[in-house]
Amino acid sequence: MEIRATDTPRLDWTGDALAVGLFEDAVDLSGDLAQLDEKLAGTLKELIEETEFKGGAGSSAVTRVGSGSSIRKIILVGLGKPDALSLDSLRRAAAAIARSAKQQKSKTLGISLPVANDNPSDTAQAITEGIILALHQDNRFKSEPEDKGAKLEQVDLLGLGGQEAAITKAQAISTGVILARELVAAPANAVTPISMAQTAEAIASEHGLALEILEREDCEKLGMGAFLGVAQASDLPPKFIHLTYKPDGTPKRKIAIVGKGLTFDSGGLNIKGAGSGIETMKMDMGGAAATLGAAKAIGQIKPDVEVHFVSAVTENMISGNAMHPGDVLTASNGKTIEVNNTDAEGRLTLADALVFTEKLGVDAIVDLATLTGACIIALGNDIGGLWTADETLASQLKTASEAAGEKFWQMPMEEKYFEGLKSSIADMKNTGPRPGGSITAALFLKQFVKETPWAHLDIAGPVWADKDEGCNPAGATGYPVRTLVNWVMSDA
Ligand code: BES
Ligand code: MN
Ligand code: ZN
């Protein structure tokens, strides 16, 4: 599918489907839309009246245009109130348009949407992301593809002539989001620690990143007892992945992204029971998936920032060699951990990943993890949790996530709750009481970062969607690759 930027007026555009965005309660046709309506023999006005189209956000209407016209279909999409127009409302409108055009089997599509934030470049980027991400369909595990038939071949972004660079950037970001989705959606018998390392290798060679893979013995030498404790019951070898993107010339800053990479989480001997969603635990590498997705995007965009992408990848399994509940592990910073629950494994793997990452001497670290069910209870499925003691980092991430259309809510780093992790035998337990479970998880991670500005993102909810929403088809969302890319690119 080719996406082009053009200044062709919507009145003159010709092709299969023309999509026009209309603001709420502003659907009376004036100016060039009145002309367009006239050209289409009143079809536009009729469509608005017959479908009672009001322009509400998320609404859409489509109809055929009488034969002999220069366009075959007209798609209307509601934009909501003009003062609420945002990059994300454009991304969503573009997604709705793309889905409609696909359903209509249109091959060529013209999109006429307003510019948000007086910024045509960000606008073109958001629209392009909306189109590509809404149309992505994963047929890898079907014997026959479900979306046979005509495919969208060409999309023209009207009024955005000259925005080719923004389109290219959006395409790069979308390859990262789609990679993350496909890694998360793939079952645990397809995506394993070994295949994750191979994916990292492919990114490194395609986009010129440096790659270091630490095998079990390398991790042993570094004293990564917490990560290896989790890995010890799996028949698959753990892989500690470290990708580095270095710009030509001196980087403006050096940062790191660390992702939880459990290709399957059975819970270990504290095995997940019936109704626990154990069959969904292939998605427990969502943090690592987004980390690799961000690496793929950054490797193409090539910003002036050095970025390290780190993930300690393994499965959490059971066997005669499994951690016992109650075992004491020693992490690579020397701290000892009483594993009072083997199902709180993500924080154990992240502990060693964070210690490793801090030694790289970066200016800031962001970790992302499908860490706790408690975060889903707190914030629901659409919003991730954000913890940091660094307000600069907090505001960078909030700005990045807002433009990305990926929601986060800042949660408290309530030091007092660390009391819940007090252990009588070791420096700390890995699990506290049920109340505030996502907060104690963040406080646990904090023990493994000494002085580098650091933020923790709990993405247990939004990494997966049960139904189509915005530019995400149901299933793996690729969350929060777009936020991470924006954060890397943000000037700080
Ligand atoms: N991977 C899970 C968290 C999770 C739960 C992600 C549901 C997505 C959906 C994590 O390893 C886990 O099992 N956490 C436990 C922690 C508890 C034992 C303290 C949880 O949230 O129940
Ligand atoms: Mn678990
Ligand atoms: Zn887990």
Q: Do the Cβ atoms of 71 and 16 come closer than 8 Å?
A: yes
Helix (H, G, I), strand (E, B) or coil at 448: coil
Distance of alpha carbon 109 from alpha carbon 154, whole angstroms? 6
Contact 102/135 with Cβ under 8 angstroms?
yes
- pLDDT for 66 equals 83
Query: Residue 61, exposed/middle/buried by CB under 10 A (0-12, 13-18, 19+)?
Result: middle
Say if residues 147 and 109 touch (Cβ distance below 8 Å): no
3-state secondary structure of 210: strand
In the chain the domains, ranked by start, together with CATH numbers, are 2-160 (3.40.220.10), 170-489 (3.40.630.10)
| pLDDT over 90 at 145, yes or no | no
Nearest to 360 by CA among 454, 264, 447: 454
Does the Cβ of 374 fall within 6 Å of ligand 1? yes
Contact 377, 432 (CB under 8 A): no
154-158/71-78 β-pairing? unpaired
Q: Judge contact between 116 and 60, C-beta under 8 A.
A: no
Q: Determine the average pLDDT of the residues in 103-132.
A: 98
CA atoms 143, 146, 147, 148: torsion sign: positive
Does ligand 1 have an atom closer than 6 angstroms to the CB of 316?
no
57-66, 186-195, 478-487: which range is least confident on average?
Answer: 57-66
Cα 267 to averaged position of ligand 2 atoms, centre (Å)? 5
Q: How far apart are the first and last CA of the chain?
A: 35
- How do strand 383-388 and strand 454-458 relate by DSSP bridges? antiparallel
pLDDT, residue 149, reads 78
Mutation choice for ligand 1 from 280, 317, 343, 429, CB with most ligand atoms inside 8 A: 343
> Tokens at residue 384, please?
């991730």
Question: How would residue 68 be classed by pLDDT, with cut points 50, 70 and 90?
Answer: confident
Phi, psi (degrees; rounded to nearest 5) at 389: -95, 0
* Active centre residues (catalytic): 272, 347
One-letter-per-residue 3-state SS of 122-148: HHHHHHHHHHHHHHCCCCCCCCCCCCC
Average pLDDT over residues 81-104: 97
Question: Which one-letter amino acid corresponds to residue 270?
Answer: N
Q: How confident is the model at residue 147 (pLDDT cuts 50, 70, 90)?
A: confident
Span 262-283, average pLDDT: 97
* Region 314-334 average pLDDT: 98
Token couple for 264: 């399957």
For residue 194, give the H/E element and its range. helix 193-207
Whether ligand 1 lies within 6 angstroms of the CB of 437 is answered as: yes
pLDDT digits (tens, 9 = 90+) for 339-387: 999 999 999 999 999 999 999 999 999 999 999 999 999 999 999 999 9
Average pLDDT score over residue span 389-413? 98
Q: Answer whether 121's CB lies under 8 Å from 157's CB.
A: no
Q: How open is the CA angle 377-309-344, to the nearest 5 degrees? A: 35
Query: Hey, whose CA ends up nearest to atom 7 of ligand 1?
Result: 373
Closest alpha carbon to 296 in 181, 128, 166? 181
pLDDT digits (tens, 9 = 90+) for 431-451: 999 999 999 999 999 999 999
Ligand 1 pocket mutation, candidates 266, 348, 372, criterion most atoms within 8 A of CB = 372
* Ligand 1 neighbour 381 (Cβ under 6 A): no
d(CA 258, CA 290): 10
Quick: pLDDT tens for 198-239: 999 999 999 999 999 999 999 999 999 999 999 999 999 999
User: In which band, very low, low, confident or very high, does the pLDDT at 492 lie, cut at 50, 70 and 90?
Assistant: low
Total Cβ atoms within 10 A of residue 57: 17
How far apart, in whole angstroms, are the C-alpha atoms of residue 130 and residue 155?
12
Distance CA 259, CA 349 (A): 10
Distance CA 430, CA 444 (A): 7
**DSSP conformation class of 161:** T
Which has the closest alpha carbon to 185: 237, 134, 141, 234? 141
Compute the average pLDDT of residues 465-491: 96
- Report the Cα 181 to chain-centroid distance in Å: 8
